[in-house]
Amino acid sequence: MSGAATAPKSLALRGVQAMALCAVFAMAFATSRMVVHAPAAATVTAVGFLLLAGVLASELCEVVGLPHLSGYLLAGIVAGPHVLHLVEHDTVETLTRVNKLALSLIALAGGAELRLDDLKQGMKSLAYATLFQSTLALVICVGSFVLVAPYLPFLKGLGTGTLLGIAALWGVLAITRSPAALLGILSQTRAQGPLTRFALAFVMSSDVVVIIVLALTFMLVRPLLVPGTTLALADLYAAGHEILGSVAIGTTFGLVLIVYLKLFGRALLVILVALGLGLSEVLGYLHFDPLLVFIIAGLVVQNLSKQADKLLHAIEETGSVVYVVFFATAGAHLDLPLLGRLWPVALALAGARVFATYISHRLASRMAQDPPLLTKLGWTPLVSQAGLALGLAGVISGMFPVLGLPFQSLAIAVVAINEMVGPVLFKWALDRSGETQSSH
């Protein structure tokens, strides 16, 4: 994540950007009312519009110190099906599927940023953080869900055992993080330092932890939520198959990339796009974790060759496009009416998650004897949630019919809050720590 800082922009330029943003929205509004809706054309138009609006909104967010991701999200929210209806719901769903490519490239870049030497130096901090965040934070989030249960209509009439099972699933959902938000902030700030290294190591490795914890939780709560079932080791076997298989495929993919980069290296972006789209679909069909596969592939390229800079350069060529489309689509996907109905409970659960993350990190840092800066600010990159949490909520709702749409809707509302607050917190922490290029 290296790069030079950009010069401050003048007030006149900001005014031009604001007028351009208004003009883009005005043209999109007029076009949406005059042109007959065609799915393919609507998708292409939405991508172009979200790119322009997201970039302009992100530039204006700089004025008040907000990260670019906030601008992308705001552009998507305003343009989405719940505000101005410039991007309709079916178009948002189509773009959400396209985001698999964005996640693949983001995960590949994240893995390529992980150096084993840095991981070894911070292994003690990483180990304690992983332990506390996947135990203490999970327990606090489970407890907070039990406390707000009386205010959730879909939980009324359920027995204590069933309620605890649902709360345990919520706890697993709460310990997911957002690699996309982390790398989006680092791409903007070009940050380097202890906080950046810790955030990369923890967030990029948390996917493995979530898979293991989720398998254990499924095994324990299934008898509570599905009548007539008993404890089964099948979930653990499936998790082991998913993790080991993903690591093996990721290692092979990384080695293939090394060979290609050494021998050819041309048209790399086209190769990455094709692999990102095709391989993600195949991996999902075979029940492997695409995110983990691409992280491992990037890790292999970084640590077993000298080709990582070439790979990162190719990914960075699409960096702005990837992050704008991903988070603008996420913003358009946020269900504001739902958030309006559930906001008191969602805010309480989101606040409890932040508290659990903070307390767990402080205790872990003291145990690991981290430097004061990391102890104070190391929790901030762990607040963001995005696609991984939403995907997991869908899996949980589909696997346990007793939960259904209400559980998933609550998850969407809480993730929406974390999605908006997390990047702002992390950028503030990076600025405060002096790790951003602008503060050097």
Q: What is the pLDDT along the chain (440 residues), one digit of tens a residue?
A: 544 445 567 788 888 888 988 888 888 888 776 655 556 666 777 878 888 888 888 888 888 888 888 888 888 888 888 888 888 777 777 776 667 777 788 888 888 888 888 888 889 999 999 999 999 999 999 999 999 999 988 888 888 888 999 999 999 999 999 888 898 898 888 889 999 999 999 998 887 888 888 888 888 888 888 777 776 677 777 778 888 999 999 999 999 999 988 888 777 777 777 777 778 778 877 878 888 899 899 999 999 998 888 888 887 776 667 778 778 887 887 777 877 788 899 999 999 999 999 999 999 999 999 999 999 999 999 999 877 787 788 788 877 877 777 888 888 889 888 988 999 999 999 999 999 865 44
Q: What span, in angstroms and rounded, lies between the C-alpha atoms of 106 and 93?
A: 20
Q: Taking Cα atoms as reference points, which of 178, 224, 213, 230 lies closest to residue 199?
A: 178
Inside any domain, residue 161: yes
Which residue range forms the structural domain that includes residue 371?
Answer: 96-439
> Of 70, 68, 23, 69, nearest to 49 (Cα)?
23
Place of tokens 């604001």: 18
**Does 304 reside within a domain?**
yes
Specify the pLDDT at position 120. Answer: 84
Q: Alpha-carbon dihedral of residues 57, 58, 63, 64, nearest 10 degrees?
A: 100
46/281 Cα distance (integer angstroms): 23
Token pair recorded at residue 42: 């609507």
**CB of 242 closer than 8 Å to CB of 283:** no
In whole angstroms, what is the distance from residue 139 CA to residue 167 CA?
A: 9
Q: Let me know if residue 279 belongs to a domain.
A: yes
- For residue 31, give the H/E element and its range: helix 11-34
List % helix, strand, coil for the chain (3-state, nearest 5): 80, 0, 20
Residue in 202, 114, 221 with CA at minimum distance from that of residue 158: 221
Domain count, the chain: 1
| Residue that the structure tokens 């101005």 belong to | 84
Is 157 inside any structural domain? yes
The set of residues, in sequence order, having a beta carbon less than 8 Å from that of 206 and lying 6+ positions away, is: 130, 133, 175, 176, 177
Q: What is the pLDDT of residue 2?
A: 45
pLDDT at residue 138, as a whole number: 95
Q: Tell me, yes or no, whether 64 lies in a domain.
A: no
Rounded Cα distance, 79 and 58, in Å: 15
Q: Tell me what pLDDT residue 40 has.
A: 60
Structural domain includes residue 408:
yes
Judge whether 20 lies within some domain. no
Say which CATH number the domain at 374 has.
Answer: 1.20.1530.20
Q: Is 91 domain-assigned?
A: no
Q: Which residues of 354-375 are buried (b: 16+ CB within 10 A; e: fewer)?
A: bebbbebbbbbbeebebeebbb
Coil/strand/helix, residue 402: coil
Looking at residue 172, its amino acid is V
